[in-house]
Structure 1
C-alpha cells in the first residue's frame, strides 16, 4: 500500500490516530501505526469496518487480529515484492538457459572444426592445406570455445551468488523472532505482550487462559531421547493450532509448557477446549522404527482460569498455574478449573 499524503496531512492523520491507540491500549508499533493511520484517513472502508467490530468486541485490537487485518488489507506492496522476486528468478534461469544454449552451439561448432582438421590431415599431400593453416584454425577455435566456457562458468558462479542472495532474502522474510522454531507456535514474548494489552483496556475484558503441561516429560526424554521428545512437542503444537481459532492465541511458553489465551471466551469455552486437547493428546500413538514399540503413554494436564475484574496479570496467570498444579497432584491427565 502506498502512502501519498503531504507532510501536513500525514501529521494530521497521525495526531488523530495516536489518541485512538492510547484510548484502546493498542501497542505503538509500526504495524499498528499503519493500521490506525489508514483508519483515520478513511482510505479503506472495509478495514475501518473490521476495526470498529474488533473494538466493539474486545475493547482493544488484539495482536493476532491486528496482524490478520494488516495481511488482508495492507500487504499489497509486499505481495508485489514477492512477485518481483519470482520474476527475477525466472529471468535469471532464462539467462542461464540462453548461456547454456550458446555454449552447446559453440561446442558443436568446435567439434566440426576438429573433424575438418582431422579430415584435412588425412588428405593426400597434394590436396592437404598447409599444416600452419590447420594449426592456426585449431588455435583460433580452441580459444573461442575456451572463452565461451569461461564465460559460462562465470555466469554460473554469478547465478549461484544471485540464487544465494534470493534465498537469503526469502529466509529473512520468513524469520520471526516471535515464533518458536520447534513448534511454529508463538512464543512467551508474544504471550506476555498480548495478555498485557488485553488486560490493560478500559473496558472489563473477558479472557480465559489455559496452561498446559505434558506429563512426565523429563522421564519420557530420558527414556526415549530428545529427538522423540521434540516430535511430541511438535505434535502437541500442531494439535493446538488445529483446534484453536483466531483470535485465540496458542503459544509455547517454554520446555513442555504451553498456553492458550482466549480473548472474548468464557470459562466454559476454555474447559471444553482443554478437554478436547486432553483427549487428542492422550490418543497420540508413536511407533518406534527400530523396536516396533508403540508409545501410548503421552498425556497432559491443564489449568483453566477466567479473568477476574481488578486482578493483575501475575494473579491471573497464577490462578491458572495453581489449577494446573492441582491437576498434576490429583493424578495428571486432567483438566482443573481455577478457583
Structure 2
C-alpha cells in the first residue's frame, strides 16, 4: 500500500481514525494506527470488510486479529518488492545451475575432442625425430581444459549447496513465525497469545460479556506413568484437535500449559460458556486411542472444566483465578464435569 496523501489529507484521515479507535476501544499502538488510517482512507476495501466483521463479532479488534489483518492487507503489499527480489535470487541460482551444467557438458566434450586430437597427432609423430610444436600446445590446452572442468564442477557443487541453504532458511523462517504464537505439540495458540488477548479484553471493562473456560485432562500424570509420555502427547494432540474443531470464532482456544487448556469467549454469557464446556467434555470422554503394541483400546480419558465470567473490577489474574477455582471444584466433585464460577 502506497501513501501519497498531502499533509492536509493525512491529517484529516488521522482525525477520522482516532475517534474510531477510541469508540471501539482499540489500543493506540502504531500497528493499529496504520490499520485504521487505511480503514478511513478506504484504500483496501477488503480490509474494511474484515474490520467491520471483526467489530461486529468481538465489539473490538483483538491484538491477535489486528496483527493478522495488518500482515494480510498492509504488509503483504509492501513486501511484494522484497518477495520479487527473493524470487529473482532463486531464479538466478537456478539459471546459474543450468548454465553451469551445460558448461560442464561442453567442457567435457571439448576435453574429449582435444584428447582424441592429441592421440592422433602422437600417432603421426611416432616417426618424427622432434615433437611437433602443435602437439605441445594441444597438450597444454588439454591440461588447462581439465582444470577449468574441475573448477566448473566445484562451482556447480557450491550452487547446489546454496540452493539447499536457501530452502532450509525459508523453512526455518516460516517455522520461527509459527513458533512465536503457536504451541508446537497441539498447534493451538500458546500462553503468550492468551496473556495478550485476555489483557486487552479485560481492559475493555464490563461493556461486553467475556467468559473464560479452563480445562484439565483428568489423572494425566497417572496416564503418563501407565502408558508413557508418547501416548500422553497423543492425548494432548487429540484434545487440541477437538478444541480447534469446536471453538469457532469468536472463541480463542489455547494451550495454557502442560495438560491444561483455556478458551477465551468474548461476547459469551456464562450459560453459553457452560454449554461449550459441556459439549467439549462429552467429546473428550468419547476419545478412543488404540495402543499399537498391544492393540488394546484406551477409553478412560476425561477432562474437567471450570468457567468464569468477567465482572466489573476484574483483572486478568482474578478472572483466571476464579476459572481455576471452578476447575478445582469440578475435580473435587468427581472429575469429568463442568463447574461454573459465575
Question: Shorter-chain TM-score: which interval?
Answer: 0.7 to 0.9
- What do the CA deviations read for 1:13-35 (whole angstroms, capped 9, x no partner)? 44553454344332344432221
Asked if 2 retains the 8 angstrom alpha-carbon contact of 1:198 and 1:205, the reply is no
Asked if 2 retains the 8 angstrom alpha-carbon contact of 1:64 and 1:249, the reply is no
Asked if 1 retains the 8 angstrom alpha-carbon contact of 2:206 and 2:311, the reply is no
- The answer to whether the aligner puts 1:287 opposite 2:290 as a matched pair is yes
Asked if 1 retains the 8 angstrom alpha-carbon contact of 2:304 and 2:327, the reply is yes
CA distance in 1, matches of 2:126, 2:324: 101
Asked if 1 retains the 8 angstrom alpha-carbon contact of 2:205 and 2:312, the reply is no
| Offset, 1:309 | 4.2
Q: Corresponding residue for 1:210?
A: 213
| Offset, 1:291 | 4.1
- Structure 1 runs not aligned, ≥5 long: none
Q: Corresponding residue for 2:91?
A: 90
Asked if 2 retains the 8 angstrom alpha-carbon contact of 1:211 and 1:303, the reply is yes
Q: TM-score, length-normalised on structure 1?
A: 0.84
Q: Corresponding residue for 2:181?
A: 178
- The answer to whether the aligner puts 1:109 opposite 2:104 as a matched pair is no
- The answer to whether the aligner puts 1:325 opposite 2:328 as a matched pair is yes
CA distance in 1, matches of 2:304, 2:273: 14
Q: Corresponding residue for 1:2?
A: 2
- Structure 2 runs not aligned, ≥5 long: none
Q: Equivalent residues in 2 for 1:47-66 (5 A)?
A: 47-66=47-66
Q: Corresponding residue for 2:25?
A: 25
CA distance in 2, matches of 1:223, 1:37: 57
Secondary structure at 2:187's aligned position in 1?
A: coil
| Offset, 1:113 | 2.4
Q: Corresponding residue for 1:249?
A: 252
Q: Equivalent residues in 2 for 1:1-339 (5 A)?
A: 1-6=1-6, 9-10=9-10, 13-14=13-14, 16-74=16-74, 75-78=76-79, 81-82=82-83, 84-122=85-123, 125-126=126-127, 130=131, 133-158=134-159, 160-161=161-162, 163-165=164-166, 167-169=168-170, 171-176=172-177, 177-201=180-204, 204-339=207-342
Asked if 1 retains the 8 angstrom alpha-carbon contact of 2:17 and 2:36, the reply is yes
- What do the CA deviations read for 1:70-89 (whole angstroms, capped 9, x no partner)? 35533333456445534432
Matched positions, count: 339
- Aligned Cα root-mean-square deviation (Å): 3.2
State which drifts further: 208-217 or 112-121.
112-121
| Offset, 1:96 | 0.4
Secondary structure at 2:114's aligned position in 1?
A: helix
Secondary structure at 1:175's aligned position in 2?
A: helix
State which drifts further: 4-13 or 123-132.
123-132
Kindly tell me: are residues 110 and 294 of structure 1, through their superposed partners in 2, closer, same or farther at Cα, counting changes over 3 Å?
Answer: farther
Q: TM-score, length-normalised on structure 2?
A: 0.83
CA distance in 1, matches of 2:7, 2:157: 47
Asked if 1 retains the 8 angstrom alpha-carbon contact of 2:93 and 2:159, the reply is no
Asked if 2 retains the 8 angstrom alpha-carbon contact of 1:120 and 1:129, the reply is no
